[in-house]
Amino acid sequence: MALELVGRARIEDAVESPLAIRGLTVSYGEKPAVFSVDVQFQRGQMTAIVGPNGAGKSTLLKAALGIIRPLSGQVTSYGRPLDEMRARIAYVPQRASVDWDFPARVCDVVMMGLYRDLGLLGRVRPTHRARVTACLERVGMAGFAGRQIGQLSGGQQQRVFLARALAQDADLYLLDEPFAGVDAATEKAIIDVLKALKAQGRTVVAVHHDLATVPDYFDRVFLINTTAIAEGPVAEVFTPAHLQAAYGGRLALAQMGGAAAG
C-alpha cells in the first residue's frame, strides 16, 4: 500500500506541471493582450518569461493566478485547479503595483505572506515572527524590519516583496519583473535567493526584461508576444530565429537595451 502510494506520487511528480496553462485568452478592450496561450512550466526549473513590451507577460501571470479574469482558458497547478493549490504558490507582483507610502513597516509586509497560516483572526505567535525575521535575513534586509516601507530604495522594496513570498514557503514562485529598476547588489541578492530555491527543488517562473542575463540566470525560456512563440531550454529556444519571431523588427533595439543593462 505504502509502496503503491510512493510510486504514484513519483509518477505525478514527473508528469504534472506546477503551472499548466491551456488556451488562455485575456483582453483589456478590443484587442487581446494574451491570445490562446498554451504553456506548461517545468518543475524544479527556473523559467524566464520573455517578450517585448506589451506582449502580455505580466497579464499572463495575473490571469493564471486569477488576479484578472481571462476570457477563456484553463489553469492547473500540480494537476489540480489553481484555487486548490494556492498554499503552494507564491507571487511577487511588480514593485510599482502598490503604494509604498502605505502605513506599514517592512516586517508588516513580510507578515502578509503568512496570511494563509494566520487566517482572519489567528494570533501572531513567536514562530511567525521568527519566520519573518529569517526571510528578511535571506534577502539581506534583517536590519530593516522596523523601517517604514516608503523609506526604502527601490531595490530594498523589491527584496521585501521577495521576503514576503519566501514567508509563504511555497513550491512555485511566480515573479513579475523582479529585476526591474533595482541596483546591482539587489539583483545579485535576488538571483542568489532564486537559485537557492531551485536547489531545494522548487520551481521559479519570472517575467524578465533583460535579454543579456537570460542564459546566466535561467534554465528555460518561454517566449511570448500575445501568442506563445516557444518554450524550452535556453540553448534550444533562446535563438535568433525565435527572438526574431517574438520581437519582430524591435529585436535590434531590445538587444541593445539588454546589453546596456547587463
Partner 1 sequence: MEQDFVMLSLPPLVIGICAAVACALPGNFLLLRRQALIGDAISHVVLPGIVAAFLLAGVVATGPMMLGAAVAALIAAVLIEAIRRLGRIEPGAAMGVVFTAMFAGGVLLLEQSSASGVHLDVQHALYGNLESLIWLDGWGWGALLDGQALRGLPPELLRMAGVMLAVAAFTALFWRALVLSTFDEGFARTQGLHTGALGFALVAVAAVAAVAAFDAVGSIIVIAMFICPPAAARLMTNRMGRQVAWSLGFAVLSAVLGYVLAGYGPLWLGYQNALSAAGMIATVSGIILGFAALLGPCRHPGGAPRGRGAE
Binding footprint of partner 1 on the chain (CB under 8 A): 28, 62, 65-67, 83, 86, 89, 91, 93, 97-105, 108-109, 112, 115-116, 118-121, 148, 150-153, 164
**Closest CB to partner 1 among residues 66, 262:** 66
| Cell 512550466, residue located | 41
**Closest CB to partner 1 among residues 24, 211:** 24
- Taking the complex as a whole, the smallest distance from the CB of residue 65 to partner 1 amounts, in Å, to 5
- Taking the complex as a whole, the smallest distance from the CB of residue 248 to partner 1 amounts, in Å, to 28
**Closest CB to partner 1 among residues 104, 251:** 104
**Closest CB to partner 1 among residues 105, 198:** 105
**Closest CB to partner 1 among residues 25, 77:** 77
- Taking the complex as a whole, the smallest distance from the CB of residue 152 to partner 1 amounts, in Å, to 7
- Taking the complex as a whole, the smallest distance from the CB of residue 138 to partner 1 amounts, in Å, to 19
**Closest CB to partner 1 among residues 121, 241:** 121
- Cα–Cα dist 127/141, whole Å: 19
Contact 45, 198 (CB under 8 A): yes
- Taking the complex as a whole, the smallest distance from the CB of residue 52 to partner 1 amounts, in Å, to 23
- Taking the complex as a whole, the smallest distance from the CB of residue 112 to partner 1 amounts, in Å, to 5
- Taking the complex as a whole, the smallest distance from the CB of residue 241 to partner 1 amounts, in Å, to 35
**Closest CB to partner 1 among residues 7, 102:** 102
Write out the chain in H/E/C secondary structure: CHHHHHHHHHHHHHHCCCEEEEEEEEECCCCEEEEEEEEEECCCCEEEEECCCCCCHHHHHHHHCCCCCCCEEEEEECCEEHHHHHHHEEEECCHHHCCCCCCCEHHHHHHHHHHHHHCCCCCCCHHHHHHHHHHHHHCCCHHHCCCEHHHCCHHHHHHHHHHHHHHCCCCEEEEECCCCCCCHHHHHHHHHHHHHHHHCCCEEEEECCCHHHHHHHCCEEEEEECEEEEEEEHHHHCCHHHHHHHHHHHHHHHHHHHHHHC
